[in-house]
Amino acid sequence: MPLLVPVLAAFGFAHGYDGAARLVFVVFGAAVVLDLLCPRPATVSPVAASAGAADGAAVTAAITTTPTRPWWLWLWLPTQAALLAAAVHAVGLPGVDIVQVLQDALAVGLIGGMLAAPAAHELLHARSRFERGMAELLLVLLGASAFGVEHVGGHHRHVATARDNATARAGESVYAFYCRAVFSGWRSACRIEARRLRRFGHRVAGPGHRVLRGWVLTFALGAGAAAWAGWRGALFVAVQCAVAVLCIETINYVQHYGLLRTRLADGHHRRAGARDAWNAEPPVGNSLLLNLGHHSRHHMESTVPFQRLAMEAGMPMLPTGLLGMCLLALLPPLWFGVMDPRVRAWQQAENAEKPCSHSISRRNG
């Protein structure tokens, strides 16, 4: 269970164990290796996507009646809060230098962006206002309040189009993507919130603005850490938030790299389907990331709990798990060498059906 990682890390920080951060790095490294050792899934040809789409209705019908989300998702909020408290306590101890602060912030940020964020993502799509409220608070701890608004109100609406902040252009490095996606995502989230508040007759710059409210609470978190552990506490919170946000964006980059929907005769994009996200089958990474590897189905059925997301023929597949691909994305030449041929194959399949499709873009950065 992914919750064990922050629990063990919090226990280590609370008891002054110097290796708590290294334990986190070992867990993630082991997951990457185990995903690589797992048998690779059979590659689905882009040409087979049309045949696979015929099975989509049956898969959708099979998962429409779904159980509730597991109760332990609710534990992520108190667990992540306890982890932050233990880590701030640890960096405030006498003799802790800036290298240790940065190491601990990196470890906690990895847990936040790679493990807590998928839990928040799952709760964001819940029907219960209580669970969505828990997701909002969990994202406050990660400094990612804008993600909660933009993901549902922007990304799911515009996925796999040029309008989507979270869809990486083919040939765009992850570093160029960071510069574009983070700031445009913040701007989009604020616009979405402003429209929502005006629609209900509320003041835009007020406590009802979920993005501004989240940023204020995150700032308060940093101020509290500074009061507890001085400049080291403030630095820790700032760095762990930055790492968590960049982890979230790295996952977005990997899941949507280069895949664009075609335009129909009426000028609208076709409905998001099996072809519009990269998927991964390796079980270790998927168990840690709450089946984020089954991402096409999530965009087709966003309210379906993660444990019921199904794979089907016609879905673009990554060569290994999400964690390994996130590491590969940090090395753009290797990433382009692995992924660009796959992107071209899927785009050619799209173009064969709709000639007005976008073509692979020019590499930038």
Q: Is 172 helix (H, G, I), strand (E, B) or coil?
A: strand
Q: What is the DSSP letter of 269?
A: B
Return the minimum-mean-pLDDT range out of 30-34, 50-54, 265-269, 321-325: 50-54
Predicted pLDDT at 227: 98
Residue 54 has pLDDT above 50, yes or no: no
More confident residue, 175 or 264: 175
- Angle, helices 322-329 vs 210-256, to 10°: value is 90
Residue 43 has pLDDT above 50, yes or no: no
Q: Span 208-231, mean pLDDT?
A: 97
Predicted pLDDT at 52: 43
Predicted pLDDT at 354: 55
Radius of gyration of the chain (CA): 20
Q: What is the DSSP letter of 75?
A: G
Q: What is the DSSP letter of 265?
A: T
Convert the pLDDT of each residue in 262-300 to its tens digit: 888 777 888 888 889 999 988 899 999 999 999 999 998
Please give the Cα distance from 97 to 323 (Å, whole number). Answer: 29
| Angle 152-287-281 from CA coordinates, rounded to 5° | 85
The pLDDT > 70 percentage for the chain reads: 88
Please give the Cα distance from 338 to 183 (Å, whole number). Answer: 28
Q: Is 136 helix (H, G, I), strand (E, B) or coil?
A: helix
Please give the Cα distance from 96 to 255 (Å, whole number). Answer: 38
Question: In the numeric block, which tokens belong to residue 143?
Answer: 């400094």
CA neighbor of 135 nearest in space, from 72, 76, 196: 76
| Angle 149-363-338 from CA coordinates, rounded to 5° | 90
Return the minimum-mean-pLDDT range out of 129-143, 190-204, 271-285, 345-359: 345-359
Q: Which residues neighbour 205 within 8 Å (Cβ) at sequence distance 6 or greater?
A: 212
Please give the Cα distance from 339 to 261 (Å, whole number). Answer: 18
Predicted pLDDT at 11: 95
Predicted pLDDT at 279: 94
Residue 87 has pLDDT above 50, yes or no: yes
Domain boundaries, the chain: 4-40+69-353
Residue 170 has pLDDT above 50, yes or no: yes
Predicted pLDDT at 359: 39
**Given pLDDT bands bounded at 50, 70 and 90, which one contains residue 60?**
very low
Give yes or no for a contact between 278 and 317, defined as CB atoms under 8 angstroms apart.
yes
Residue 55 has pLDDT above 50, yes or no: no
Q: Is 210 helix (H, G, I), strand (E, B) or coil?
A: helix
Please give the Cα distance from 169 to 154 (Å, whole number). Answer: 17
Predicted pLDDT at 66: 52
**Given pLDDT bands bounded at 50, 70 and 90, which one contains residue 98?**
very high
Please give the Cα distance from 284 to 126 (Å, whole number). Answer: 24
